[in-house]
Amino acid sequence: MINDESTSNTLRTAYELRDGESSIIFLFLSGVVMWLDIVSCLTTGKSPQLLDLHPVAFGAKPHIKLEKIMGCKNWVMTEIGRIAMLHESKRHGLQNGTFDAHSFKTQADDIRQTIRRGQNEQFLSELRITNPNSPSHAKSPIRPHEIITRVFTRAAHIYLELVVRGFKSVEENPDFYNINTELMMMLSTLPRGDLFRAIVCPLYLFGCVAKAEDRDVFRNIFSSLPLNDPFMHHRKTILPLLEKVWSLRDTRSNDVSWESVLQLSEDKIILL
């Protein structure tokens, strides 16, 4: 059992003493654990165990910066954690007959607005970087953590809609078409290396909703280097799981939910 209050106080103390080696190590390891806690939710279907610590760790004055650990900014990972919580509450509510559709919609709308604000800020930032008339054009190339955050943001958008509406609605949504087009262009230009290792989780989400004509791209990505790494045995289970998702979508196109996908995985893999 984790005592959130004592852990929260420890995080604050470590942050205040962050110039010390022990505090730096503690904050780094805490960030790793919280990152893994969030990512694991995508295959377990559960809320993050450390969700109550997110305001302290990732808030306005963050004690932990995930972009320095796994490449994605705090706010996106926080929203992914909230989506996982939303899914778990929906499942429990439907099972127990206590599902509150109004509360669910309100929470989903709040997460959606946060993601859209983040996307707009990314778009404006990219305009400043790519605009030749901008003072920052020559000095500020798009950095790896900005690319990783951008990919995770699009994945969070897809994840939310899958939880709220299911696959059929996502496939018919014009926003999905735009995200899919942008993603396929990005995948064709990104260098195969550390960037791909950093986006295994969003790649899985994008793979789940991939159109039939795009599936070979994901087959290639997950069956070749750098993701098909002999030292990362758990990744070998990702492509077979995607094949099950695609088969389910092809045979039950009108009623596939995110919960349906979770039921396909016997072993709850971690998307790293």
Q: What is the pLDDT of residues 39-74, one digit of tens each?
A: 999 999 999 999 999 998 998 889 899 999 999 999
Compute CA 80 distance to the chain's CA centroid, rounded to the nearest angstrom: 5
With cut-offs at 50, 70 and 90, classify the pLDDT of residue 6. Answer: low
Q: What is the pTM of this model?
A: 0.90
Q: Is the pLDDT of residue 1 over 50?
A: no
Show Cβ contacts of residue 11 under 8 Å, excluding neighbours closer than 6 positions. Answer: 27, 30, 53, 56, 57, 63, 64
In terms of average pLDDT, the best of 5-14, 53-62, 136-145 is 53-62
Question: Which amino acid makes up residue 235?
Answer: R
Structure tokens at 28: 């780094």
Peptide bond into 226 cis (omega under 30): yes
Find the mean pLDDT for residues 139-164.
91
Q: What is the mean pLDDT of residues 222-245?
A: 93
Concatenating the DSSP letter of every residue in 58-108 gives HSSS-S--GGGTTSS-HHHHHHHHHHHHHHHHHHHHHHHT---HHHHHHHH
Average pLDDT over residues 155-165: 97
The mean predicted confidence, pLDDT, of the chain is 89
Mean pLDDT comparison of 13-22, 122-131, 237-246, highest-scoring range: 237-246
